[in-house]
Amino acid sequence: MFAMPPTPQRPFPGAYIQTPAHGLASKTGQLSQQNFRPNAITSQHGSQGQSQALTQQKQQTGMVAGTSSAEELKPIGRAARTINETLDQESRYPEIDSYISRQLPIPSYLACAHTFAEGPSSDYDILSQPAWAPFQKAKMYSIPDSILAQCNHAKMSTMMGLFADLNHAWIAIDDSLYLWDYTHPDPDLIGFEEQQQQITAVRLVTPRAGVFVSTITRMLVVATSSEIVLVGLASQDAAGGGKSVSLFSTRLSISIKGMTVNLIEGSAASGRVFFSENTSDDVYELTYQQEEKWFQNRCTKINHTGKGVSAFNPGPIFGFGQRTQQERIVDMTIDDTRSLLYTLSSRSTIRVFHMRPNNGLALMITKTLAATLNDVGHMPNLTTDLLSPDITIISVDPISSREAVRLHLMATTSTGCRIFLSATSGSSYNAYNISAVKPSDAPTSMQVQHVKFPPTDPRRPPVRQQNSRQMVPFGNSQGSITNSKALTRTRRAVRYAPGYFFCFVPRDAQGTSDSLFVSAPDTGRIARLRENSNAVKYPELGIWPDLGSRAEDIGLASNPFSATTSPAGFGNELAVQYDEPVSEVAILTNTGVHTYRRRRLVDMLASALQIGGGDEGLDGEMKKFLRLYGAGEIASTALAVACGQGLYVTSESRIARITDPKVLEYARKAFIEHGGKPHLNENRVMDQPIPAIDTVRPSPRHEGLALYIARLVRSIWKATIVKESVSPMSGLTVFPTVSMAKVQNISQDLIALKEFLRSNKNLIEGLAGPEALGLVSTKQDEISLQAEHRALHSLVILIENIIEGIAFVQVLFDEQIAEIMVSLPAEIRKQVQDLTYEGLFCTVNGKELAKELVKAIVNRNIANGSNVETVAEALRRRCGSFCSADDVIIFKAQEMLKRSSETGGESESGRNLLNESLRLFKQVAGSLPMDRLQWAVESFITMQFYAGAIQLALDVAQESDRGNRALAWIQDGRPDQDQRAAAFQSRKGCYNLIHQVTTILDKASIQGPSMIDGQYTLAVKRRAEAYDVINTSNDEAFQTDLYDWYLSQERTDRLLDIQSPYIVTYLERKSSDNIEHADLLWKYHSQRGQNHDAAIVQLMLARSDFKLSLDRRIEYLGRAKANASTTSPGIARHARYQLLRDVSDLLDVANIQSDLLQRLKGDERISADRRPAVISDLDGALVPFDVVRNFLTTFSNKELFRLIVQQLYNGYADQAGYFDLCLLIYQAADHRNPADIRATWQNLLDRTHEEIATRGTPQPYEVVIEKVQSLAKRLNFSETMFPIADIVPILEKYAFEFQNGVGPRTWPMDTLIGVGVPFESLFPVLEGMFYNDEAPFQGRNRRYIAIDIIYVAGLWFQDGSRGAGKILGGEGSAATINQTLMMLQRSGLLDETTLEECRALRARIEYMLR
């Protein structure tokens, strides 16, 4: 096992979900508890290193994978967030300032004018185990024999050096310079032998931009005893590997007679070249330009220090105030990021120059050795013999602003001490205001920040320092070894970012051989400095490789290291170990070129596993790894080893992957069995109302997997996919932002990772599947396992997405991508230009843009006549999520459509292709996007395949909403803010295309004749086919939208012609809120003979709440009555009669209301202010007699009458004295009270007489006659409302009292007989009046009744004599009448004329009875 079982912590209150905690309430009323974070890490859960620290920090801030917002994320979104958080943490790797020059809170007894760093350090891990070596010797290249032969002819001097970044070495033999590719087994020599003087210095620099042609990217500065010559150098990659170099004469040189140049340095950013001579401390600059100018040659030199640098000093400085000729510059280096030039003199004085524009150079700082040692001496409790005044500084190395904000320079002493210095523009350095420091500021002061002492001498046992008075250094409980002699007599040292240190120490007094010490930052431990405050501040790994010869030069053969472009994260070698080539350093010795390769953490672990040492040895190595780097890092590294990332140098000096099955198996076990457990934060469950699963911190295994994925994809994650450039020669060029070779390598690594996870799925906790839940014992374990599965599953999905996304990018660049980009719409093209790999892998928009590109690829192949199916199948196999099986069918359908257009839609083969295209499109209707549907419909229209276009649009609409949510939304009245509206809008896009088709179709069909030679034309047939598809569609949502469209186009005639069961439903739905639609509904029914349905709609309109006039409602009722009276097929007689009755009753009421309205309009008794309100109340909706009628089963007649009276009778008719209307209201309300009816009739005659008598004309009786006649018809001679027994006495009395002698004597009887009152009804009433002897017909006045009896009997006899029925109603009735006439004849009330009429009538009756 790799680690001991962790000691369980004592649970906090409420540490179990089932046990509620008893906490103290805070001011906010919530439970509060301090976050617990141990300083020491003693278990797998606690030893999770850098990634665990990140997880703890995120969990406290609510950003861990299981947060409250996580439940809203889909797996790919959760995985993307995990990768972004991991990359963010990787970018926050500590900057060098934070662990080299950490400031201390100085105690009062140590207070002084200086601000001190934490103190020196000497922390190295120099292990005998080669697996942990920071560098490994890669290869040794011998010096070619041809070079050695040339050396044998040397007369004056020989110098050697490296151009390591070009894989070339050089040698200057007297006046000749030779270059060769040291990596080539038999290199060709490239010579420069044009000068005649001895070569004193050679430097390869970057030329000023624009001076040379673009192929010359470097420049050789060759200094001889008399001149400096500039030689152009062009390099390119060689066919067999390495680089080939060519030299070009520039004809640029400058005389330097009297000077011996020993140092040359160039600025890569500006192209400026500086040099110095070996007899002074002056700094010169060599200027050069393309052409000569006035007063300026092509090549000149400038002495920036005049008579010596000491002339710039304000006063004598110890060690530099007395300038002598012996002081010279021994080292020179440039920091382009700060525009600073550093020089080191032979007296160990450091000078800092600021490189200003226009070839300016200003001395800013002079730091003598004494001043440097003085700063070191102020470090608290520092005792050392290695920094005495007799030492020298042998080299200076810049630390760029990209690597550090505070630190500027590292100086190496002859005793092997590394002194880190900062340069600032202020008089004193504020270590706590780093943000105020700008790289462009010219510094004015320099201060020592840190001293790194040499390691212990490997040849001598460590000696404890004997100093009884030595105090424990403040802030460093263990102290530092400050007197190691291991690097004493250091003659050469160099530093490369991010902290590689190479130090050369002569082995003997003659200096024929060097000892080499190499150290490098322990990146994994530095990453954990924030986590563990007791950790060493500058941990390094060291090694003493056997050089075996004297070093002549050293150079960085790889690109300069840079994980980021800012100090934070700059030195994170862990982050780039799978993404960037490892650093490689070349060392030139007198025996050859030795190359040393930086070993990555994955290489160290793989090598440790490869060396083995049995289970105990491996277990020890893993424990060490856990202790140093944490569980998360070991999970990530073990996974990388298991996936084949480990590299080693073979015995043949080749770089190879470690494929030893034992190593891979042990790495697999380390990842699976020792990946830790997820942790449920039960306190957060109690403190915050979030799901328990969202409080789980995933296991170190998950963190390791996330680290590995993030490190694989870091270079492409935020990078855009394409980049465009336009040039006059080549036009538009589109190329990948990241090289396809690199992208391909990432894909291969992820494929290996995917295969590893697939093959070990059942063994990895969290990926084993639901059966793993059966192994858990507690609810907490179950929740933790579910969260772990959620986290791991999301990463697995992300891996698949990345692999497919990269495959798609490769396919994209295999095509003519420039043509594809041009074919895209402007908006889509801009989005593609801005699309990042992360967006492609993880966002919906990225997927959509990828599909747009796929369509563009297919369209281009279609246009070029290529086989689309082959292209589509290739896309589907390589990146199925971007090109599914449905997409393949779509592309094939498009191809068929394209071929049909080429063949011609009129031909049989063209039609077959069209039908086949339609079949394929319908097959994938559910996944057909709108733009492709639109393209297909437009293509079908072009080829006049209207029916196919409509059918395809209908199928796509149906598939887009298979649950008919759009129809449900329509049926519910289309409520606002309803999610179903989106489903309708989706369908609406398809329906709009159908409307477009029908519009074009209609225009095309009316342009020509419909028939030719008795045959329908092709256009008419196609129109019939299209409308047959429309009319037979069972898509009610479509039919509804179609009818809406017809109405919007004012094509109501088309609606009335439609033969569809949905039109009635549609119009019924629309009728509830639109009168025009309701009119269309009853017209539709009438046009099809559905009179009963039409009557129902018309009745509904009459009763509706629409703003209709009363006349319009009466019109509807009249039409409804006519339609209800007509027999309709399929309607039962009872239903028809019931409808007719309802309509008739309502019509009667409506007519009464109309009469009342007209009467009130002309009634002068109503005031002008009141009249509009009265008219408005009556000229609109009907008084609800129909509502009352519907409740006849509930209301009694009395209640019914009361309801009606409340509306018209009490409100208007009775108050206004419109008694004729009151009678009509009685009838409508079925009011049968004889007294009320009789009184109303009496009031009617009285009121009528008064009105006419007041006016004077016409005769009152004439108006009475008109009233009676009108009411008789409207009351339908109702026995109740038109009671003859009451009306006859009322009329007779009125005629006797008010109209006696006015008008015809018998006008009352003529009126009643004229309106159709039967004789048999009148005669008994008159007979009763005669016998009753009631006022005013008493005594002699009864003669008036007798006269009417004789008059009615005579008319009755005449009517029967004309064959209109039995005479006088039959023999019985005639005998009775004869007796009555005989009684009148004997009464003595008749005058002679009337008596004679009575005799004659009796005679005729008796004659008839014989």
Which value, to the nearest 10 degrees, does the dihedral of the CA atoms of residues 1236, 1241, 1246, 1251 take?
110
CB-CB contact of 800 with 878 (8 Å): no
Q: Which amino acid is at 540?
A: E
Alpha-helical (H) ranges within 103-162 are 145-151
Please give the Cα distance from 641 to 603 (Å, whole number).
8
- Among 671, 514, 694, 531, smallest CA distance to 605 is for 671
Band (148; pLDDT cuts 50, 70, 90): confident
CB-CB contact of 705 with 636 (8 Å): yes
pLDDT digits (tens, 9 = 90+) for 1130-1165: 788 888 888 888 888 888 888 888 888 888 888 778
Instruction: Say which range, 106-115, 1052-1061, 1241-1250, 1324-1333, has the weakest mean pLDDT.
Output: 106-115
CB-CB contact of 1251 with 1182 (8 Å): no
Give the range with max mean pLDDT: 389-398, 1184-1193, 1383-1392.
389-398
pLDDT at position 1203 is 60
pLDDT at position 1206 is 59
Please give the Cα distance from 232 to 248 (Å, whole number).
5
Q: Which amino acid is at 560?
A: P
Instruction: Say whether the peptide bond before residue 398 is cis (omega within 30 degrees of 0).
Output: no
CB-CB contact of 712 with 57 (8 Å): no
Which residue reads 């000497």 in tokens?
Answer: 122
Alpha-helical (H) ranges within 674-699 are 682-687
What does the pLDDT average to over 822-835? 90
Instruction: Say which range, 279-283, 377-381, 400-404, 1026-1030, has the weakest mean pLDDT.
Output: 377-381
Band (2; pLDDT cuts 50, 70, 90): very low
Higher confidence at residue 474 or residue 1276? 1276
CB-CB contact of 702 with 798 (8 Å): no
Q: Give just the sign of the alpha carbon dihedral 794, 795, 798, 804.
A: negative
Element (H, E) at 585: strand 584-589
Write the DSSP string, 436-495. Answer: G--TTSPP-EEEEEEEE-----TTS-------TTPPPPTT-SS-------TTTT--EEEE
- Among 687, 582, 600, smallest CA distance to 636 is for 600
pLDDT at position 114 is 43
Element (H, E) at 1321: helix 1319-1332
Band (88; pLDDT cuts 50, 70, 90): very high
Beta bridge mates, 137: 596
Residue 408: both structure tokens together: 């500027």
Residue 119: both structure tokens together: 């103190």
Element (H, E) at 1273: helix 1260-1274
Alpha-helical (H) ranges within 643-732 are 661-673, 682-687, 700-717
Please give the Cα distance from 224 to 197 (Å, whole number).
6
Beta bridge mates, 124: 540
**Interior CA angle at 641 toward 640 and 647, to 5°?**
110
Tell me the helices (H) and strands (E) count for the chain, helix number first: 46, 37
- Tell whether the model's pLDDT for residue 466 goes beyond 50: no
pLDDT at position 108 is 43
E strands, 1048-1128, where?
none
Contacts of 1085 (CB under 8 A, 6+ apart): 1091, 1093, 1094, 1097
Beta bridge mates, 1298: none
pLDDT digits (tens, 9 = 90+) for 467-486: 333 333 333 334 478 889 99
pLDDT at position 312 is 46
Which residue reads 């150290």 in tokens?
Answer: 519
Q: Please tell me what DSSP assigns to residue 1205.
A: I
Band (1013; pLDDT cuts 50, 70, 90): low
Please give the Cα distance from 1058 to 1037 (Å, whole number).
16
pLDDT at position 688 is 64
Burial class (CB in 10 A: 0-12, 13-18, 19+), 93: buried
Please give the Cα distance from 1006 to 1022 (Å, whole number).
12
Kindly report the backbone phi and psi dihedral angles of residue 1384, in degrees, each rounded to the nearest multiple of 5, phi listed first: -65, -35
CB-CB contact of 1037 with 1005 (8 Å): no
Three-state secondary structure call for residue 681? coil
User: C-alpha 1265: how far from its chain's center?
Assistant: 87
How confident is the prediction for the chain on average, in pLDDT? Answer: 82
Higher confidence at residue 30 or residue 463? 463
Band (597; pLDDT cuts 50, 70, 90): very high
CB-CB contact of 1214 with 1202 (8 Å): no
Residue 1169: both structure tokens together: 């202010």
Q: Give just the sign of the alpha carbon dihedral 385, 390, 394, 396.
A: positive
- Tell whether the model's pLDDT for residue 902 goes beyond 70: yes
- Among 817, 612, 800, smallest CA distance to 709 is for 800
Please give the Cα distance from 26 to 1162 (Å, whole number).
83
Residue 1358: both structure tokens together: 């005449």
What does the pLDDT average to over 167-194? 90
Q: Give just the sign of the alpha carbon dihedral 949, 953, 954, 959.
A: positive
The most distant pair of C-alpha atoms in the chain lies apart, rounded to whole Å, by: 190
Q: Which amino acid is at 839?
A: G
Contacts of 744 (CB under 8 A, 6+ apart): 806, 810
Residue 458: both structure tokens together: 């490997």
pLDDT at position 118 is 61
Please give the Cα distance from 809 to 781 (Å, whole number).
42
pLDDT at position 72 is 61
Residue 615: both structure tokens together: 């289970």
Exposure string (b/e) for 211-233, b if CB count within 10 Å is 16 or more?
Answer: bbeeebebbbbbbbbbbbbbbbb
pLDDT digits (tens, 9 = 90+) for 622-671: 888 888 888 899 999 999 999 999 988 887 888 888 888 989 999 998 89
Three-state secondary structure call for residue 924? coil
Instruction: Say whether the peptide bond before residue 1258 is cis (omega within 30 degrees of 0).
Output: yes
Which residue reads 């990140």 in tokens?
Answer: 54
- The reply to whether the predicted model has a pTM over 0.75 is no
CB-CB contact of 696 with 785 (8 Å): no
Which residue reads 């960085």 in tokens?
Answer: 556
Please give the Cα distance from 1057 to 96 (Å, whole number).
85
pLDDT at position 205 is 96
User: C-alpha 631: how far from its chain's center?
Assistant: 35
Please give the Cα distance from 834 to 851 (Å, whole number).
16
Element (H, E) at 868: helix 868-878
CB-CB contact of 1056 with 1083 (8 Å): yes
